[in-house]
Structures are given as structure tokens and as C-alpha cells.
Structure 1
Amino acid sequence: MTANSIKSSKAFSVFKDSAICIVVLTAATLAGYAFKAFQLADADIIMLYIIAVLVISIFTSKMYFCLISSLVGVMLFNCFFTYPEFSLSVHDAGYLVTFVTMFITAFIAGTLANKLKRNILIAEQNAREKEEAALLAQNEQLRADMLRSISHDLRTPLTSISGNASTLISGGDTLDESARQQIYTDIYSESMWLIEMVENLLYATRIEDGRMQLNISVEILDDIVQEAVKHTKRTHPKRNIIVDMYDEIIPVMADANLIVQVIVNLMDNAVKYSDEDSDVTVSVRRENAHTVVISVSDHGTGISDEEKEKVFDMFYTGGSRSSDSRRSLGLGLALCRSIITSHGGTISVSDNIPNGTVVSFTLPIGEVDLNE
């Protein structure tokens, strides 16, 4: 900030505070005339000026405005409400005591109000600083958790990939075809898991930085679900995925790519945390005329009530492991919640009776213009 801008800012502040003094004292004087018309006592009019000084002390930035307004208030009372009117002369010596008392009372009240205002501002500033410090500590903890999770979760698949690659390099010719095929499958599986984790990390970074752009338009929900199911079947070809949808076409307001990502994440979780011979179900139902509910259910071990409150937190894993013994990075459900919330929907976890988990989210139903 330049010297000229600082001077301009100070000048504007003084002008604003002066205007407040003039307006408030003028209002007190006009109210005093109203009091006088109703034949109220001088003490009531004096109280108006004391209140005016309180207001000025609260809404002005400098202490000297309290002093000036106290003095001007006494002069206005003397000029307009004591004999002789419209004069600063004092006809009755007893009014001198009144003026001094009025000035001292107004100044003390204004000073206390000013100090109270300053204490409130200091308290608010301290509260903001504490909140910022707590948020900073939380972010640092989040980063530490992220680094621990990434380092732990990268080590396992990378170790597997490097070990399998080393086996192929050193003794691949001695292995039979089925053994080599199994190694290829393991390398591919671990690589796909790494790709999924990196994609989730990229989404998390975009969400945290506020760079995730939504391209919301009217989309056919059946197309979104089928695309997500197709993707999941490519990565989990042995799992049986059931799609339970209405025969009707349901248009939704959504960013299709992001909603596909949500459903894929939910199905991946359902696959990972349930037995290989169990089904994963994707169901769609209308909640009302404006909302549709999409649910992904499995028949795994389920989630405890305590963990249900935390599963949408970033990097929360609950110490759980998937059926293939991999540890989750704890990004999937947090990303899903961010995406669904940005669509104006909600997401929740419930039990799948008799066992398993159901994750449901809502989307707004759109309208299709048949004339387009």
C-alpha cells in the first residue's frame, strides 16, 4: 500500500467518523425536541445525549470522537434546551454542575463502550487466530496421514510388481505357462490398483484446491450406470454385478464422468470388501418427483455404527482391509461425498440385511426437452 493510499484511507476514516458524529448528535437533538414537546424532564433529554455518545463510541474508530461528542453534546443541550435558548451562555449557575456531570457521565460511558468494543474485536481476532491455527494443524495432520497412507499403500503393490518382474527376468524361461500367466495377472492387477489410487489422489487434489470443474447437463441415468458397470466388469471380470433399474428412462442433472467415477468407486469398495462368490447390486429408484436414489450394496462383513460416521472422512480407513488384503487409502468415499455434494445431492451408508453394506446417494432429476 502506497503512502498516498494510506493517507486517503485515513482521511476517509476521519470523514466517516465525523459524519457518524454529526448524524447521531443531530438525531439526539431532534429526539430531544420531541421529548420537550411531550414535556419530558431535562434528565430524559440528557440521557439521549449520553446514549448518542455511546453509539458514537461504538461505531467510530478513534477515542477522541468520544471526547468531542461528549463536549458537543453538552453544548447542544445548553444551546437548545436551557434558557436562554440558542445561546451558549449559562443563565442559571446550577446548570454548570449539570453540564459537568453530563460531560463526565457521557465520556465515561463512551470510554467504557469503546473499551468493550475493542475487547470484543480482540476476542474475535484471537478466536479467528485459534481457528486458523487449529485448521492449520488439522491440514498438517491430514498431510501427514496422507504421506503415511501413500508410502504404505505404494510399497505393497510396487514390491509385488518389482518382485514378479524380477522373477520373470531372472527365471522366466524356467516357469511353465500357467505360472507366467499368473505373474502377468498379478502385475496387471497391482498396476490397475496403482492407477486407481493415483486417479483418486488427483481428484482429491482438485477438490482440495477448488479446481474441480462440473459440466452438469441432462444425462440419462441408465447410460451412466451401464458405463460404470462396464468399467467395473473389466477390472473384476469374475464378480457378478446385478443392475436393478426401472424400465423407464430417468434423466438426471449430472456431470456424467464424475457420477460414473462415484458408482465405480462404490462398486470397487463393494467388490473389495465382500467374498468373491457374492453379488454386488446397483439399484435405482425414484425418491420423489425431483430426486432419484442410486444404491450399491454388497454382502460383506458390513460397517459398524461407529465407523459409519467416519467413512466419508478423507484418508479414513478404519484399519479395514479388502478381501485381497490390500489396505485402502481412504479416498474413495470422501471423493464420492464431495462429488455428490457438489451436485446438490446426499450420500449415506446403511446396513444390508442380513449382512453387508448399502451406500446410497441422490441426484436431482432433470427434464428432457423433446423438441431438441
Structure 2
Amino acid sequence: MSSKYYLRMIVILLAATISSLALKQLGIDKVNILMIFIVGVLLVNALTRGYRFGIIASCISVMIFNYFFTEPVQTFAINNTNDITLMLFFFITSVISSSLTARFQRQLIISQKNEQTAKLLYEVSQRLLNVNGEENIVRQGMRCIREYTGYDSIIELNESNQTFASDNFASNIGERSTDFPIMGLTKRVGTLKIYNKNVNFNIEQEWLVKTVAAQMGIALDREFVYNERENIRIAMESEHLKSNLLRSISHDLRTPLTGIAGASSYIVQRGKSLDHESIERLAKDIYEQAVWLTALVENILNMTRIDNGKLNVNKQIEVVDDVVNEAISHVPRLTERHFNIIMPKELLAIPMDGKMITQVLINLLDNAVTHTPKDRPIELCVSQKEGYVEFGVADGGEGIAPQIKDNIFDAFVTSGKTSSDGKKGIGLGLAICKAIVESHGGNIRMEKSHLGGALFIFTLPCI
């Protein structure tokens, strides 16, 4: 590099000398000729690095000027004191310009390096800004260090007690690491270990590593805060669901139990004075309340199994007529309604868990009875389609409210209305129906019924 600068200096001084000799032949005085050498020195300062080249050029220029342009010519002797003063000021001017130019060049180099460092740090910050997930943040930070420094790294996290290493990293025996703390907003979240092959960091590398550590600390702290907030939100939702479930269960279980206790107590206290018809009516009420209570408990148990992922489907070939009749027998309130059954003429037998599908039909029929006035019809229709069997339960009620139509199959979603006999569900029936049907490979949907109310349709594959 120095030889290149020396060559440039020689070329510039040679060009200045030739130009000055040519101007002397044209009659230009030596004061103006001296300006040529000043320009030459300035060019040397601009095209080289360091002030020494400018000073050397200044000295050589003074000697050339003395040799060719002062009396006596072609000697280094000086007879005129004005020439001495002129060359002295020329030399001082050249040295000052060399120093200023060298200082300017150093400042320019520093500013360029600072600009590059700032761009690099900004790029690192941007790469870590939108990364989510603890491992993704750590991996991105180690990739930045590898790309910009060439060093491998290991990151140890305090919260999770996890350790991450760079890809394909294997430390050499005896190689020491340089440790940097990874600080969050309020505490230390981990340690960054750089294996820099026992070589000292330069200032840019140190800034880069510290920036990566700082950005990782902020990102990891942000991730921790986000996870904590999500855990709090989930816990609050869980507590809210539990509260709703307990409140609904306590209310809906108390209703049939009160009916059973009241009817049975009345029979015990006044049984001898009651006629057979009254006793039969009270026994029927007890039976209906017990059936309703059993259905509630069964729905709660099924929802518990679904939430725990323990809804086991035991498929066997079942006759559809038998499953339908079994379901109808568990909804005694249908005997008081205008209930119509439409079944195919041929006998259908498909693979299903008969007990679960019976529970689906019970829930749909019980909902139809609950939300349909006694003078309106209810219909159960079974038909065979290509590759599947379709079950439909239609009612003549008021239909589904628009505000709950989109999430009708979610848990704890109810219309909020109580039936004429005081029964009100807890919003688990349709959620259980959906889970059971989908576990059979089928699907369930809700439409507008031709009877005026709601129509719930679910399908089961034939194979």
C-alpha cells in the first residue's frame, strides 16, 4: 500500500516540475510557478493516506524549486533572501495543508466506519425485533453473531435453564469463551458465551455482540411478559368457565332434584290418602326428572372426557332403527308432543358407537322438546345418501337467535330461555354432539327448519 502512495507522489511531483519548467519558458515568474507545487502537494495529500507523504512532497518540492527556479539556477545555493522567505512560507503552508488533509481523512474514515457500524446494528435490531418464540430469538441472535463476526456462541437462559449452541458448533479443547450478560428490562435473563478463538475483539465486534445481547434480552423479556399475560388470560378464562359450569350445574341439578324430592316426599307423607292415578302421575314426574338428571350428568361426564382427550369411540355395526328407538325411549317428554318419525324402508346398519350416537339423538331431541311449544310439531328424519346416512331433527319452535347462530356448537352457549316445564340446559349438549359426530368422521350443521324452527343435521359414513 505504501509503495502505491510513493508512486503517486513521484508522478505528481514530476508532473508539477515539468509543468513549472514549461511555464518558465513562457515567461511566468517564480511566484506563480510556486503555486503549481502547492497544487501538487495538495494532490499528494488528497491521493495518499497520512500526513508524512505531504511533508515529504513539501520537502522535495522546495528542493526542486530551489534547484530549477532560484538564483543561481541548478544549484541548491540561495542568493536572494526573498526566495528563502518564499520557500519557507511555501513549506509551512504545505505542512499545514498536509496535516489538515490527513486529519480530515481520518475523520472521514471514522465517520464511514461509524455509519457502517450503525447500519449493522440497525440491521441486527430489525432482525430480532419481530421474532417470536424463545428458541427462535436465541437462534436468530447466534446467526447474527456468526454472520458478522465469524465466531460461534452458546446461550444459557436463566428462566428455562436451557442451553443453545450455534449450528455445527464444537469448541476446541482449552478454548475459552468471552461472556456477555443478556439483560432484560428488570433482570438478567441469560448469558451469551462467544468462542472467539482466544483472539481479542475489535471495537466494532464488541459493539455488535453487546447489541445482539441487548436486543435478545429485550426480545426474551417481551416473550416472557407475553407468555405470562397469556397464562393469566387462560387462567382467568378457565376460572370463568369453571364458575359458569359450577353455577349452571348447581342450578340445573337442583331443579330435578327438587322435583324428585318434592314428589317423593308428597307420596311418603300423603301416600295413604292418594288414589292410584295421583300416585302414578307423581311417579311419572319422578321418572322424568330422574331421566333429565341422568342426561345432565351424562353430558357433563362426556364433556369432561372430551376436554381430557379421552373420548374413546368403539365402533361396531349397529342397526339405525335400534339406535333411534333407544334414543326416543330416553326422551319421555316426546309422548306429549306432535312427534313424527321418518325412516327409510330398508334396514340400515352402519359402523358407529351406538351409545354415543344415542346420546347425540337424545341431546338433539331434548333440545327440540325444550324449545318447541306443545302445540308445535317435532320431526326426526333418517335417510340414506351416497356413502353416508343423514339424521335430521327439526322443530317448530322460534329457531336459533342470530347472536348465537355462529357459535351454537360451542360449550356453554344457550339461548337463555327456559322451557314451559322449567327446564333449562347448561349449553353442553350441542358441543358434545359435534365432538361425537366428528370423532365418527361425520359432520353436523344447523339450518332453518321447514317446520318453522331449527333443523339440526348430522351425517355418519357408511363404512
Shift of the alpha carbon at 1:353? 3.7
Runs (5+) with no aligned partner, structure 2: 1-138, 156-163, 167-176, 181-191
SS class of match (1:312): coil
Corresponding residue number in structure 2 for 1:89: none
**289, 299, 313: which one aligns with 1:214:** 313
Shift of the alpha carbon at 1:261? 0.8
Is the counterpart of residue 344 in structure 1 residue 441 in structure 2?
yes
- Amino acid aligned to 1:196: A
Q: How does 1:257-336 map to 2 (within 5 A)?
A: 257-285=355-383, 289=387, 291-336=388-433
Work out the CA distance in 1 between the residues paired with 2:317 and 2:219: 50
CA RMSD in angstroms comes to: 3.5
Corresponding residue number in structure 1 for 2:264: 165
Corresponding residue number in structure 2 for 1:174: 273
Q: How does 1:45-194 map to 2 (within 5 A)?
A: 50=148, 52-53=150-151, 56=153, 60=165, 64=179, 68-69=194-195, 71-72=196-197, 103-194=202-293
The share of aligned pairs that are identical, in percent, is: 34
- Amino acid aligned to 1:299: G
Is the counterpart of residue 359 in structure 1 residue 456 in structure 2?
yes
Work out the CA distance in 2 between the residues paired with 1:48 and 1:188: 75
> Quick check: 1:320–1:328 contact (8 Å CA) kept in 2?
no
What does the per-residue CA deviation read over 1:254-298, in whole Å, with 9 as the maximum and x for residues that have no partner? 322211111111011112221334332222456654x54322111
Q: 1:300 to 1:283 in 2, by over 3 A?
A: same
Work out the CA distance in 1 between the residues paired with 2:392 and 2:442: 13
Work out the CA distance in 1 between the residues paired with 2:282 and 2:343: 38
Q: 1:122 to 1:151 in 2, by over 3 A?
A: same
SS class of match (1:236): helix
- Amino acid aligned to 1:64: D
Mean alpha-carbon deviation: is it higher for 337-346 or for 244-253? 244-253
Shift of the alpha carbon at 1:304? 1.1
> Quick check: 2:271–2:279 contact (8 Å CA) kept in 1?
yes
Work out the CA distance in 2 between the residues paired with 1:273 and 1:347: 19
Corresponding residue number in structure 1 for 2:337: 239
SS class of match (1:237): helix
Work out the CA distance in 1 between the residues paired with 2:225 and 2:258: 49
What does the per-residue CA deviation read over 1:60-104, in whole Å, with 9 as the maximum and x for residues that have no partner? 4897387744x449x6xxxxxxxxxxxxxxxxxxxxxxx97xx33
Q: How does 1:19-34 map to 2 (within 5 A)?
A: none
Q: 1:343 to 1:68 in 2, by over 3 A?
A: same
Q: 1:223 to 1:162 in 2, by over 3 A?
A: closer
Q: 1:117 to 1:361 in 2, by over 3 A?
A: farther
> Quick check: 2:395–2:451 contact (8 Å CA) kept in 1?
no
Higher relative contact order (CA 8 A, sep 6+): 1
Work out the CA distance in 2 between the residues paired with 1:229 and 1:256: 14
What does the per-residue CA deviation read over 1:199-250, in whole Å, with 9 as the maximum and x for residues that have no partner? 2222222222333222134545454334333444x56333344333444565
Q: 1:112 to 1:294 in 2, by over 3 A?
A: farther
Work out the CA distance in 2 between the residues paired with 1:185 and 1:63: 83
> Quick check: 1:57–1:63 contact (8 Å CA) kept in 2?
no
SS class of match (1:106): helix
Shift of the alpha carbon at 1:319? 1.5
SS class of match (2:336): coil
Normalising by structure 2, report the TM-score: 0.55
- Amino acid aligned to 2:400: I
> Quick check: 2:178–2:194 contact (8 Å CA) kept in 1?
no
Q: 1:361 to 1:107 in 2, by over 3 A?
A: farther
Work out the CA distance in 2 between the residues paired with 1:341 and 1:360: 13
SS class of match (2:277): helix
Work out the CA distance in 2 between the residues paired with 1:314 and 1:57: 46
Normalising by structure 1, report the TM-score: 0.67
Is the counterpart of residue 197 in structure 1 residue 296 in structure 2?
yes
What does the per-residue CA deviation read over 1:5-34, in whole Å, with 9 as the maximum and x for residues that have no partner? xxxxxxxxxxxxxxx9xxx99xxxxxxxxx
Q: 1:161 to 1:286 in 2, by over 3 A?
A: closer
- Amino acid aligned to 1:259: I
SS class of match (1:64): strand
Work out the CA distance in 2 between the residues paired with 1:181 and 1:199: 27
Q: 1:48 to 1:192 in 2, by over 3 A?
A: closer
> Quick check: 1:270–1:280 contact (8 Å CA) kept in 2?
yes
Q: How does 1:6-25 map to 2 (within 5 A)?
A: none
SS class of match (2:250): helix
User: Which of the two has higher C-alpha Rg?
Assistant: 2
Mean alpha-carbon deviation: is it higher for 138-147 or for 310-319? 310-319
Aligned length: 294
> Quick check: 1:303–1:357 contact (8 Å CA) kept in 2?
yes
What does the per-residue CA deviation read over 1:297-346, in whole Å, with 9 as the maximum and x for residues that have no partner? 11112111112234323233331112322122222112112222333333
Q: 1:170 to 1:217 in 2, by over 3 A?
A: closer
- Amino acid aligned to 2:404: E
Q: 1:348 to 1:51 in 2, by over 3 A?
A: farther
Runs (5+) with no aligned partner, structure 1: 1-19, 26-46, 76-98, 367-372
